[in-house]
Amino acid sequence: MSEQNYQLRTPIVAVLGHVDHGKTSLLDRIRGSAVIEGEAGAITQHIGATEVPLGTVSDVAGDLVTPDEFDLPGLLFIDTPGHHSFSTLRARGGSLADIAILVVDVNDGCQPQTLEALEILRRTETPFVVAANKIDTVAGWRAEENAPIQETYEGQSDRTRQFLDEALYELIGELSDEGFPADLYWRLQDFRQTIGVVPVSAETGEGVPDLLAVLMGLSQRYMREAMAVDVSGPGAGTVLEVTDERGFGTTIDAVMYDGTIREGDTIVVGTAGEPIVAEVRALLKPRELTEFRAERAFETVTEVAAAAGVKIAAADLADAIAGAPVRVLRNRDRATVIEEVNAALAEFDVETDDEGVVVKADTLGSLEAMANALDELEIPILRADVGNIARRDVSIASTVDDPRHRVILGFNVSMRGDAEQDADDANVEVFTHDVIYRLVEEYEAYVEEIDAAQQESVLENVIRPARFTILVDHVFRQNDPAVVGVEILDGTIRRNVPVVDLDGGEDRVVGMLKGIQSAGEDVDEARAGEQVSVAIDGPTVGRQIDEGDTLWIDLPETHAKVLEQELFEEIPPDERDALQMYLEHKRTEDPFWGK
C-alpha cells in the first residue's frame, strides 16, 4: 500500500439487543446529541449509517475524549439496529461491524434476544461493550441531561445508588454465566479479557459520553491497524437492502468497508445464482441530515470512500440479496472477482436433508442465524433461501410426508401472490415472525400439538393395560355373556378387548369384554378405583371364572411394545404399574417378549 493512499477509515459500530430494551432510542440519542453538540452539518448521514466525526465525539464526550490522543476519524453507526441486521453485515468471513454495542435494559437483564445476540457476537468474535440502559428508571433517580455516568452517579442518594448497583451486578453475573466476564468499564484494565459495562440512559443522555469514549478508546487501541485502507483501491462492501427508488429503478443500499466506489465502476454483486456484473450508473446519499427513518431526498456523488453507506444504482440489480458481497472490478480480472464473490456466498451454505422444513429469511445473515437455531434443536432443513415466500416454496414443502416438517418458517418475510392460498390447498403450515426465537417457539408448539394428537390417536387405538377383580356377590348373569361387578385395581378397561387369567401355570384367555356399565349407564371405558359391571363373552361364572378372581386385559405383544417404548410417559402411573407387572409376567418365560 503506497503511503500516498494510506488512510485510516472510520470504525463501523453495530447496535444489538432484546426488543424494547432501547436500541433505536440509544441510536437516536447519540445522533441527537451529536447534532446538538456539534456544529451544523458536523455529522454525515449515509445510507443505513450515521458518521460521527472525532471532533463531534469529543464535543459530546467532553473531557473523556481528547482529540489529540486519537487519529481514527470518528465512528460510523449502523442505523438498522437488531441482531438479524448485524448478521447481514458480512465481510472477510466474519462480521462487517468492527465493534458492537449490546443494549440491555438494566431492570430486565438478559432476555431471549439478548442471549441470541451474545451467541452471534461469540460466533463472529466481534468485540463489544454493554450499554446498561434505562438507569433513569431506577427508583429515586435524579437526571442530569447528557452527563458522564460517574458524575451523575455521585449526585444520587445512597438508596438510589444501591438500587442501581444491585441491578448492574445482577446483569454482570448473567453475562458471566454466559461465558462473558464483565465489569463496570472504569474498573477494567484489559477490555480484551473482560466486557465493559457502561450504565446509560437513552432518555436523558446520561452515560452517552462514556459510551462514545469507550468505543473510541477500544477502536484506537485495538483496531487501529485493521482500519487501514487503500482509499484509491477497488471498493468492497456488503448489501444491506435491495430497494426500488423512483427514477433509478432497483437499487442496493450497501456499506463499503474498504477502498472506493465510483460512478462508472463495474461492480460484482452476489445473488442466489450467478453474480450480477453491472456498471454503476449513480451513487446516492441523503441530501441533508434528516431524522432517522424519515422520508429522504437523495443527491448524486461521484465517489464514496470506506467506511460509508451508499445507495448504488445500476442495471439488473433485482436479484441482489441482502448480506451478499459487493466488489468493484476496476483493474482486476473479472473471473477472479466473480470467484471471490462466490466464495463469500459459499460461507452461507446451509446443510440440508432429504426431509425437513423449508426456511425463508430476509437476508443471508438471517438465514444463517435461522439455520444455526434450528440445528441446535436438531430440526432438519429441506431447503433454505433468501426472499419472500413464493408458490415454489409451498410446492417444495408439499412434497414432505411428515406433518411436523410440512412447514415453511419465514423470518422477517411475507408471502407472495397466491402462495397463501396454495399453502391452504396443499395443507402446508406457514409460520412467520420478525424475532427468531419466537418463530422457533411457535414452530415447536405446533410440533408438540401434532405429537400430542398422534399420541392421543395411538392411545385410542392401542389396547391399554388393566387389572381388575370380580366382586363377591356381584354376579348378575352366569354366561352368554357373563355379567359381573368388578373393581378396577390398575389401568383402564375398554370394550371389545380380550380378558386373560394370569394365575396358575399357563395364561388362559377367558373371553372378550363386550360392555361396561356404570350406575346403569353404558360407558366406553373405566379407570382404576372405579366399580362397574362388565359383560364378558365366553366364560361361565363358576367354571372358567369365579367371584374373587383377578383378571387382566390381554395385551398383544406389539401393543405392549408401543406402550413401553413410546407412550410410557403418557399413560397414568397406575397404568404404568399394570404394564410393568404384565411385562414381568410375560418375560419370565420369554425375556425378549415385547422388546
Same domain, 309 and 181: no
Q: What is the DSSP letter of 39?
A: P
In a domain, 594, yes or no: no
Helix (H, G, I), strand (E, B) or coil at 360: strand
Q: Residue 410 is inside which H or E element, if any?
A: strand 407-411
Cα distances (angstroms) measured from residue 68 to each of 41, 82, 90, 213, 219: 22, 33, 32, 14, 15
* CATH code assigned at 73: 3.40.50.300
In a domain, 595, yes or no: no
pLDDT computed for residue 40 by the predictor: 42
- Cell numbers 435491495 correspond to what residue? 242
User: Cα–Cα–Cα angle for 82, 86, 90, nearest 5°?
Assistant: 165
Same domain, 220 and 294: no
Look at strands 74-78 and 99-105 and give their pairing. unpaired
Half-sphere exposure of 138 (CA within 13 A, CB side): 28
The three grid cell numbers given for residue 527, joined into one nine-digit string: 379407570
Cα distances (angstroms) measured from residue 153 to each of 23, 101, 203, 476: 22, 21, 16, 87
Same domain, 254 and 318: yes
Helix H, strand E, coil C: the string for 229-288 is: EECCCECEEEEEEEEEECCCEEEEEEEEEECEEECCCEEEECECCCCEEEEEEEEEEECC
- Phi and psi at 424, nearest 5°, equal -60, -45
In a domain, 37, yes or no: yes
Sequence-ordered list of residues with C-beta below 8 angstroms from that of 588, at least 6 positions apart, any chain: none
* CA separation for the pair 87, 79 (Å, rounded): 14
Q: What is the DSSP string of 491-513?
A: EEEESSEEEEE--SSS-EEEEEE
Mean pLDDT, the chain cut into blocks of 10 residues (595 residues total): 69 88 86 60 72 89 90 88 68 77 95 87 91 96 94 94 96 96 93 94 95 95 89 91 88 93 97 94 75 58 92 94 92 94 85 94 86 91 93 95 95 89 94 89 94 80 93 94 96 94 86 94 94 96 94 94 89 93 92 90
For residues 241 and 301, the answer to whether their CB atoms sit within 8 Å is no
In our burial notation (b when 16+ CB lie closer than 10 A, e otherwise), range 342-359 reads: eebbeebebeeeeebbbb
* CA separation for the pair 278, 540 (Å, rounded): 92
The type of residue at 70 is F
Q: Following CA atoms 207, 211, 216, 221 in sequence, which dihedral angle do they give, to the nearest 10 degrees?
A: 110
Domain-ending residue, one of 400, 432, 457: 457
What length is written for the chain?
595
In a domain, 1, yes or no: no
* CA separation for the pair 34, 362 (Å, rounded): 32
Same domain, 186 and 99: yes
Q: Following CA atoms 307, 309, 313, 316 in sequence, which dihedral angle do they give, to the nearest 10 degrees?
A: 90
Domain-ending residue, one of 199, 229, 259: 229
In our burial notation (b when 16+ CB lie closer than 10 A, e otherwise), range 485-517 reads: bbbbbbbbbbeebbbbbbeeeeebebbbbbbbb
* CATH code assigned at 550: 2.40.30.10
Q: DSSP strand E in 438-542: where?
A: 466-477, 482-494, 497-501, 508-518, 521-522, 525-527, 531-537
In a domain, 593, yes or no: no
Cα distances (angstroms) measured from residue 85 to each of 15, 320, 366: 9, 16, 7
Q: What is the DSSP letter of 305?
A: E
Distance separating the N- and C-terminal Cα atoms of the chain: 72
The three grid cell numbers given for residue 59, joined into one nine-digit string: 464535543
Half-sphere exposure of 282 (CA within 13 A, CB side): 14
* CA separation for the pair 587, 595 (Å, rounded): 10
Look at strands 236-245 and 249-258 and give their pairing. antiparallel
Same domain, 418 and 502: no
Same domain, 177 and 41: yes
* CA separation for the pair 326, 344 (Å, rounded): 10
Sequence-ordered list of residues with C-beta below 8 angstroms from that of 15, at least 6 positions apart, any chain: 23, 26, 27, 77, 78, 81, 100, 101, 103
Same domain, 193 and 75: yes
Same domain, 322 and 207: no
Query: Of 88, 34, 39, which is closest to residue 61 (Cα–Cα)?
Result: 34
Same domain, 49 and 170: yes
pLDDT computed for residue 112 by the predictor: 84
Sequence-ordered list of residues with C-beta below 8 angstroms from that of 420, at least 6 positions apart, any chain: 430
**Residue 236 belongs to domain spanning:** 231-345
In a domain, 296, yes or no: yes
Domain-ending residue, one of 457, 488, 521: 457
Same domain, 219 and 300: no
Same domain, 275 and 166: no
In a domain, 502, yes or no: yes
Domains: count for the chain: 4
pTM for the predicted model, two decimal places: 0.72
Same domain, 35 and 176: yes
* CA separation for the pair 368, 284 (Å, rounded): 30
In a domain, 101, yes or no: yes
For residues 52 and 30, the answer to whether their CB atoms sit within 8 Å is yes
For residues 12 and 257, the answer to whether their CB atoms sit within 8 Å is yes
Query: Of 341, 404, 411, which is closest to residue 369 (Cα–Cα)?
Result: 411
